[in-house]
Amino acid sequence: MQKRLVLDQQQIGIILRRFCHQLIENHDNFENTVLLGLQPRGSILMDHLAPILEEISGVKVPFGYLDATFHRDDFRRRDFPLKANETKINFLVEGKKVILVDDVLYKGRSVRAAMDAMIAFGRPQKVELMVLVDRKLTRDYPIMPDYYGIRVNTLDSQYVVVEWANQGQTENAVWITEKVKS
Amino acid sequence: MILETAANFKEVINRPIKKVPSLRDITIANVFFENSTRTRLSFELAEKRLSADVINFSSSNSSVKKGESLVDTVNNILSMKVDMVVMRHSSPGAPHFLSRNVNANIVNAGDGTHEHPTQALLDSFSIQEKLGDLAGKKVAIIGDILHSRVALSNIFCLKKLGAEVMVCGPITLLPKHIESLGVKVELDVKKALQWCDVANVLRIQLERQQIKYFPSLREYSLYYGINKKLLEQLDKEIVIMHPGPINRGVELASDVADSEHSIILEQVQNGVAVRMAVLYLLAGSRN
């Protein structure tokens, strides 16, 4: 299978630190800000981001994990129902500035579902979107990220795969691969 | 899979907004040919929490009284564009018969003395939540095993999940050959309680008993009723469960039903989550 490296360990490290500085620029002392990682893979990115953010800013920003499975719009359009993940949010987002964190932005449907799911926890003051990889010109919904690591040109026949060293891989990396034709 | 999904739904029903839109384009008919409080409310709540449209039907005020057959009744309901049917019936096998004869998903909400699958799932979920993995846990089902659909479904479900199961009750209320299902049989309630980690206590189903299986309720209560004194004699703490409705003072004394050992009300709450999971997974695929 063809596989092309888009980001390596060092580049991802640089991007994560850049994200933190951008957040500090926009959110000052994080008084009213919370982070929500989108399950399952956005949460892994957030787990990498949170300690670096704390180290650089000196502030422990509250974070949670949001699962949007029950809010997806492709329910009953698949052969099998999607397996849900845990939602773990021990705060309300009412009046808060929320930063949604995901690894890859593709069609924008997951983010739409996530915003739907988020509303169950209150009415946020503002919502921002942070993604590691933004796939250009593939959107089905009018959704754009506020922060992105890299923008890539991809085809529908390709996957963007994000690998994390603590998830059984040797190094953090982002790859573009071809979908296997069935 | 069902129990894992149920855990996710339990989180959902404890949110400030307890509703998710998953089943918003689905209509579900609750068809109850037999009385029910908990199961019907629980299913209805589960359906509403999943944003399904719900219609309720009970046989007592319907055309069934005018002589319509089961298949006709359900086909009429389905022709109004209903996607799923949740059914309780007093005849064993009725949901199975129906699922072979009509083109829709049928969920069994209890069929006579046969089975009650969602109750077994919620009981297993409740035990798992309280004690962790079910494998190797000892569960005693105590009471009217003969007439209980909860008992049979529980035996199947618990054994599948690796638990050891014992049934306990007066010999007249134990079905013949029950040990062929791979369960232990015990007549002495004290021994059963001493053996188990969890006691699932069942109601005496007088409405299903055409003949007398024991001399009097008082005598049953004396020999098989579970009270605080009995539990204090044990050298360990056990979990008490009951599928409801409880006949207080018969199979379970109030000082046990309301004690910290009892997870009866948790069972009811978990019932909604488990039924949400069942409906979600059933409705989830394309066909």
CA atoms within 13 A on the CB side of A6: 22
pTM here is 0.84
Q: Which pLDDT value is given to residue A114?
A: 94
Same domain for B192 and B147: yes
Nearest to B209 by CA among B142, B144, B143: B144
Asked if B40 contacts B30 with a C-beta cutoff of 8 angstroms, the reply is yes
Cβ within 8 Å, pair A80-B284: yes
Same domain for B137 and B68: no
pLDDT tens digits in sequence order for chain B, 287 residues long: 788 888 888 888 888 788 888 888 889 999 888 888 889 999 999 999 999 999 988 877 666 667 778 888 888 888 888 889 999 988 888 889 888 888 888 899 988 889 999 999 999 999 999 999 899 999 999 999 988 999 999 999 999 999 999 999 999 989 888 889 999 999 999 999 999 999 999 988 877 777 788 888 888 888 999 989 888 888 888 999 999 888 888 899 998 989 988 999 999 999 999 999 999 988 876 65
Average pLDDT, integer, range A125-132: 95
Domain range summary for chain A, segments of one domain joined by +: 3-71+83-178
Same domain for B163 and B97: no
When the pLDDT of each residue in chain A is averaged and rounded to a whole number, the result is 90
Q: Which pLDDT value is given to residue B264?
A: 92
Average pLDDT, integer, range A3-9: 89
Same domain for B279 and B251: no
Count structural domains, chain B.
Answer: 2
Same domain for B134 and B27: no
Average pLDDT, integer, range A41-46: 93
Same domain for B128 and B57: no
Q: Which pLDDT value is given to residue A64?
A: 93
Contact list, A117 vs chain B (CB under 8 Å): 20
Task: State how far the Cα of A180 lies from the Cα of B142, in Å rounded to an integer.
Answer: 55
Q: Which pLDDT value is given to residue B59?
A: 75
Contact list, A84 vs chain B (CB under 8 Å): 4-5, 8
Average pLDDT, integer, range A81-102: 89
Instruction: Please name the CATH architecture into which domain A3-71+83-178 falls.
Output: 3-Layer(aba) Sandwich (3.40)
Domain that holds residue B36: 2-115+268-283
Same domain for B57 and B26: yes
Same domain for B136 and B238: yes
> Residues 191-210, chain B: which have Cβ within 8 Å of A?
none
Same domain for B133 and B220: yes
B234 alpha carbon, distance to own chain's centre: 27
- Laid out side by side, the sheet with A158-163 consists of A3-7, A173-178, A158-163
Q: Where do the H-state alpha helices sit in A73-120?
A: 109-118
- Which domain CATH number covers B135? 3.40.50.1370
Contact list, B4 vs chain A (CB under 8 Å): 83-84
Average pLDDT, integer, range A139-151: 94
Average pLDDT, integer, range A1-12: 87
Asked if A90 contacts A64 with a C-beta cutoff of 8 angstroms, the reply is yes
pLDDT band at A79 (very low <50, low <70, confident <90, very high): confident
Same domain for B101 and B123: no
Average pLDDT, integer, range A119-144: 93
Count other C-beta atoms under 10 Å from residue B203's C-beta.
Answer: 19
Same domain for B235 and B187: yes
Cβ within 8 Å, pair A76-B280: no
Average pLDDT, integer, range A4-13: 91
Same domain for B108 and B239: no
